[in-house]
Amino acid sequence: MSEQAGGWDTGADSLHRYDDYTQINRNQRRVDALKLALGKGTFSDDIDLPGMLHLKCLWSPHAHARITSIDTSAAEKVPGVVTILHHGNVPRVPYTTAGQGHPEPSPYDTYMFPKKVRFVGDRVACVAAESELAAARAARLIRVEYEVLEPLLDSRRAMDPGAPIVHDEPEASGLPGYDKERNLAASMEVFHGDYAAAFAKADLVLEHEYEVPYQHQCALEPHVAVTWLDEDNRLVVRVATQVPFHSRRILARVLGIPVSRIRVIKPRIGGGFGGKQEILIDDLPAMVTLRTGRPARLFFTRREEFSSSRARHPQILRWKTGVTKDGVVLAQELEVLANTGPYGAHALTVQGCTAGKTLPLYKAEGYRFIMNTVYTNLANGGAFRGYGGPQGFFAMEAHMSEVAERLGLDPADFRTKNLIGEGDENPLSKALGEGGEGPPQRIRSCGIQECVAQGKAAIGWERRGKLADPAPHLRRGLGMACLMHGSGIPGVDMASAFLKLNDDGSFNLHVGATEIGTGSDTILSQIAAEALQVPLHKIIIYSSDTDMTPFDKGAYASSTTYISGTSVKKACDGVVEQLKQAAFEIWRHHGDPSDGPLTIADEHVVRPDGKRLSYSEICLSTFYEHDQHQIMDHGSHMSMESPPPFAAHFAEVEVDVETGAVRVLRYVAATDCGVPIHPQNCEGQIEGGAVTMLGYALSEDFVFAGGRLLSDTFRDYKQFTALDVPEFTPILVKTFEPSGPFGAKSVAEIPTDGPGPTIANAVSNALGVRFRKLPITPERVREAWLAKQQGQPASTRA
C-alpha cells in the first residue's frame, strides 16, 4: 500500500529527516556520466547491422492537398532501392502519435500515410534503400499529383463557417469536445464556484489577451529508429523514445501485429523534452523490416526535425481577473484558443494543463475555463516539457503583475496574499483530470512563500523601481512570477520496478522508467541505495526494454522521481524484508537464533547484540547452502495524488531602447521540489528548463511563408547559447512531501513555466510598456518603445 493510505499528513513534521539520508540528498556522480564523457554511451544510431536498409521520406510541399496519384516507377529504378511505402500500399489505421496511456485522450486522426496531406512536411512516401544517398535520390523521383486545397493558416478563423475543413474524412474520431466539422480537435468548458457572482463583487475586473508562439523541443539527438527481426522472427525496435511501452502498444495497432511480437528497446537517448513522447517515426522502419525481413533505419535531419515533428502548441489566451481594491482575488476566467496544427496529438491534455497547472495557484471564489483547440494547416503541436504550463503561466503571471500595478501593490505582495498553501484543496483537480474527471487533490507540502522570500532576497527585489540605468539608452528592470506544476498524472500513471540480489551484495534494478538524460537512472539508483543502505555503485540499473523490464508509463508529466521512485522503494522494502527473513533463518539454522528484531545498516542485517551478516553472505547462503532461493521483489506504484512542486522566478534585464535588444543579466529560480534526491541534478533540471524558456521569452519562434516553415535550421531558429545565459542562481527550498519517496516530488517541468512571464514582467518594468505577446524580439521592443514615445497607449497588443 502507498504511504498516503494511512491518513492525511503534511510534510512539516518530517522536515527533520531532511539531512539524515546517506545516499539521497547527496551529489553523487551520475551512474551514466562516465561512459558519456568517454563518448561510449550507445545511442540508437550507434549500431551497425549487416544488410541494414536506410529510409528517406518524401514530404508534402503543400499545406493542404489531396493526393490524386503517386507514381514510383522512376524511383524504383534507382540502384539500391528495395521498397517504397505510401498510402496506396499500407494499411489505413486511424491512430494518434501521442505516446499516452491507454486509451489515449488524443483524437485518432493520423494514418501511416494520409491520402490528404495537411501541412508542409506531412508524410507522402518513404523509400528504403541500400544507402541513405540512394533513398534520398529515389524519394526525389517519386511523381505525385495533388489537388491543392485552400489551406487554413489562421487559428482565429478555424471555427468560422466556410473555413477549410482539415479532417473531412470519415475515420477520424475523438473524445467528447471533438468536432471535426468545426476543426475542433478538442474543447471543454469547466467552472468551479459561482464565478459570475464573484466577478460581480469585484472592485476591479481586468481582462487582457495574450499570445504565445510555437516552440521546438530541439533535442540535440534527432528522432531515430532502427528495427530488425530477431532469431524468433520478432520485431525489435531500437528507438529514441520517451515512451517505450506506449510505443509497443501503438505500433502493434498500426502494424497489425500482436504486442507479443514486438520488443522496444530504449538505448541511450539524446534528450526528449516531449518531442519523443510521440510514436513519430518508429512505424516506418518497422513496416520495412516486416516487409523485407531486413534491418531498417530512419534518422531525421535537423530540417525534418523542425518541419515534420512536433512543437509546443501556440495559444491565444484571454485572462480575466476580479479583485477587491485591497488585492484579494475573487474570480479568475481563462479562455484559450490553441492551434494543434494538422493532427491532434496531445491537443486535449496540453490545453487542459494550461488551466490545471495555473488557475489553482491563486485562491478564488470562482473559476471558469473555456478551451478550444483547433486544427490548422500549420506545424504540428504536441508534447513539450511544461505541457501547457508555459503558455498558461505566461498569461496568468503577466496578468497578475498588471493587476498589481493597477491596484498600486507590489507584485510580490499581491501574489503572496492570494497563494495556495499547505492544507488547501486544489479546486480544479476534479474537473481537469486526464481526458476526464480527476481525483481530488489537497496540498501536503508547499514552500511557495519561502520561494518568494528567498528569491526576493537573492535578486535584490527592494531595488525594484530604483534601478539606475547604466546609460541613457539602456533601461533596467526586475520581474517575477510564481509557479506550480504536478508530479505525475493522478489516477493514471503507473510505474514498476524489479530488484534482485547478487552474490557479491550488489543488486540488479530493472525499471521501466525511461532515462532520456534527466538523470533518472541515477535518481532511481540513489533511492534504491538509500532504501537498501548500500553505496550507489552496488546498484546495477537497467531501464526501459519492453522484454526485460516491467512496465512504466514513460518519461513525461514530471512523474519519474515521484511515481517510478516510489515503485523502486517498494521493491527495495520487499527485498529488505526478505534479507531479514533469510538472515533470521541462517542464524536459526546455525543454532544461534537472533535475540530480537533485525535492522539493516551498511550492507548488513544486524541483530540487537551486534552480530551481523553481510548481504553477500546472505546471498551465498540462499544460493548454495540452505533454504535455496533468489532474494528478489518487485513494486508497482500509482498515485491518486500529484503533489505540485512550487517555484518563484525572478529576473533582472537590461533593454537597449535603440536596438530593442533585451539582455538577461541575472536569473533566480527558487524551487520547492520536496527533498532533492540529487541536489546538483535538480539544479541542472532548473537551469536547463529555464534557459530553454528564456529562448521562448525572447528569441524562439516559427516563421512561416504561407504554410512553409522558414525557421527550420539552428541558424534560423535562435536558442540561447552559452554566450546568452545570465548569471543564474538556482535555490532549493526545503520541504518534505509525505506521499513521495523519501520526501521528494517533481522538478523537471516547473522551471519551464517561469521565464516567459518573468522576463515579460522585467521588460515591462524596465520600459513601462506591457508585453502580451512572446517572443519579445528586438523588433517588438522597438515598436512598443516608439509607440510609447509617440504617446500611444502603453501596450503592445497581439
Partner 1 sequence: MRSELEVNGARVAWEHEPHEFLTEVLRREGLKGTKRGCESGDCGACAVLLDGEEVPSCLVLAAQAHGHAVETIEGVGSFEAPHPIQEAFLDATAIQCGYCTPGMVLATKALLAETPNPTEADARACLAGHLCRCTGYVKPIQAVLSAAQRCQAGAQ
**Site track 756-795 with partner 1 (rule: CB under 8 A), x = hit:** ----------------------------------------
Q: What is the Cα–Cα distance from 280 to 310, expressed in whole angstroms?
A: 9
Please pick, from the candidates 209, 422, 469, 687, the single residue that binds partner 1 as defined by CB under 8 A.
687
| Cβ distance to partner 1 smaller for residue 46 or 211 | 46
| Cβ distance to partner 1 smaller for residue 301 or 599 | 301
Please pick, from the candidates 2, 173, 721, 792, the single residue that binds partner 1 as defined by CB under 8 A.
721
32 makes contact with partner 1 (CB under 8 A) = yes
Of 493-522, binders to partner 1 (CB under 8 A) are: 516-519
CB of 306 to partner 1, least distance (A): 10
CB of 302 to partner 1, least distance (A): 4
Contact range with partner 1 by CB under 8 A, out of 36-44, 185-193, 346-354, 435-443: 36-44
Q: What is the Cα–Cα distance from 353 to 186, expressed in whole angstroms?
A: 13
| Cβ distance to partner 1 smaller for residue 518 or 546 | 518
CB of 27 to partner 1, least distance (A): 7
Grid cell digits, residue 510: 530493472
Residue linked to cell 508497482: 636
| Helix ranges, 209-361 (H) | 244-255, 283-292, 302-308, 347-356
Strands ordered across the beta sheet of 215-216: 215-216, 311-312, 381-382
Please work out the total of residues on this chain that contact partner 1, with binding judged by CB under 8 A: 58
703 makes contact with partner 1 (CB under 8 A) = no
Please pick, from the candidates 109, 278, 333, 683, the single residue that binds partner 1 as defined by CB under 8 A.
683
Task: Give the gyration radius of the chain's Cα atoms.
Answer: 27
Could you tell me which residues are beta bridge partners of residue 206? 321
The answer to whether residues 146 and 69 touch, using CB atoms and an 8 Å cutoff, is no
Q: What is the Cα–Cα distance from 160 to 276, expressed in whole angstroms?
A: 33
38 makes contact with partner 1 (CB under 8 A) = yes
CB of 299 to partner 1, least distance (A): 8
Map residue 311 onto helix, strand or coil: strand
* CA neighbours closer than 13 Å in the CB half-sphere of residue 748: 26
| Helix ranges, 446-562 (H) | 448-459, 520-532
- Which helix (H) or strand (E) segment holds residue 71: the answer is strand 65-71
The answer to whether residues 658 and 717 touch, using CB atoms and an 8 Å cutoff, is no
Grid cell digits, residue 675: 527533498
| Cβ distance to partner 1 smaller for residue 124 or 694 | 694
* CA neighbours closer than 13 Å in the CB half-sphere of residue 697: 33
680 makes contact with partner 1 (CB under 8 A) = yes
725 makes contact with partner 1 (CB under 8 A) = yes
Grid cell digits, residue 235: 520485431
CB of 349 to partner 1, least distance (A): 23
CB of 758 to partner 1, least distance (A): 15
713 makes contact with partner 1 (CB under 8 A) = yes
41 makes contact with partner 1 (CB under 8 A) = yes
| Cβ distance to partner 1 smaller for residue 220 or 468 | 220
Of 202-231, binders to partner 1 (CB under 8 A) are: 217-222
CB of 494 to partner 1, least distance (A): 25
Map residue 729 onto helix, strand or coil: strand
| Cβ distance to partner 1 smaller for residue 640 or 725 | 725
Please pick, from the candidates 13, 22, 33, 593, the single residue that binds partner 1 as defined by CB under 8 A.
33
Contact range with partner 1 by CB under 8 A, out of 391-399, 418-426, 617-625, 715-723: 715-723
CB of 36 to partner 1, least distance (A): 3
The answer to whether residues 733 and 672 touch, using CB atoms and an 8 Å cutoff, is yes
Grid cell digits, residue 121: 512536411
Contact range with partner 1 by CB under 8 A, out of 40-48, 463-471, 630-638, 770-778: 40-48
Q: What is the Cα–Cα distance from 581 to 240, expressed in whole angstroms?
A: 42
Contact range with partner 1 by CB under 8 A, out of 115-123, 348-356, 421-429, 708-716: 708-716
Give the long-range contacts of residues 595-602, CB within 8 A, separation 24 or more: 600/532, 600/533, 600/576, 601/533, 602/533
CB of 231 to partner 1, least distance (A): 25
| Helix ranges, 408-447 (H) | 411-418
| Cβ distance to partner 1 smaller for residue 122 or 305 | 305
**Site track 449-478 with partner 1 (rule: CB under 8 A), x = hit:** ------------------------------
DSSP assignment of 219-236: -SSPPEEEEEE-TTS-EE
| Helix ranges, 155-216 (H) | 195-201
CB of 42 to partner 1, least distance (A): 7
**Site track 286-325 with partner 1 (rule: CB under 8 A), x = hit:** -------------x-xx-----------------------
Q: Which pairing describes strands 604-606 and 441-442: parallel, antiparallel, or unpaired?
A: unpaired
715 makes contact with partner 1 (CB under 8 A) = yes
CB of 679 to partner 1, least distance (A): 9
Residue linked to cell 532520456: 516
- Residue 504: phi, psi to the nearest 5? -100, 10
| Cβ distance to partner 1 smaller for residue 392 or 517 | 517
| Cβ distance to partner 1 smaller for residue 235 or 516 | 516
Grid cell digits, residue 436: 476526464
Q: Which pairing describes strands 727-732 and 662-672: parallel, antiparallel, or unpaired?
A: parallel
CA 633 to chain centre: 30
* CA neighbours closer than 13 Å in the CB half-sphere of residue 628: 3
Q: What is the Cα–Cα distance from 142 to 471, expressed in whole angstroms?
A: 60
Grid cell digits, residue 130: 541500400
Please pick, from the candidates 2, 22, 27, 792, the single residue that binds partner 1 as defined by CB under 8 A.
27
Grid cell digits, residue 492: 493514471
Please pick, from the candidates 7, 39, 170, 258, the single residue that binds partner 1 as defined by CB under 8 A.
39
**Site track 238-277 with partner 1 (rule: CB under 8 A), x = hit:** ------------------------------xxxx-x----
The answer to whether residues 117 and 157 touch, using CB atoms and an 8 Å cutoff, is no
Q: What is the Cα–Cα distance from 360 to 484, expressed in whole angstroms?
A: 9
| Cβ distance to partner 1 smaller for residue 720 or 785 | 720
* CA nearest to 562, candidates 740, 742, 733, 743: 740
Please pick, from the candidates 2, 13, 29, 173, the single residue that binds partner 1 as defined by CB under 8 A.
29
Contact range with partner 1 by CB under 8 A, out of 22-30, 85-93, 397-405, 735-743: 22-30
Would you tell me which residues interact with partner 1 (CB under 8 A)? 27, 29-30, 32-43, 45-46, 48, 217-222, 268-271, 273, 299, 301-302, 516-519, 678, 680-681, 683-684, 687-692, 713-715, 719-723, 725, 728, 730
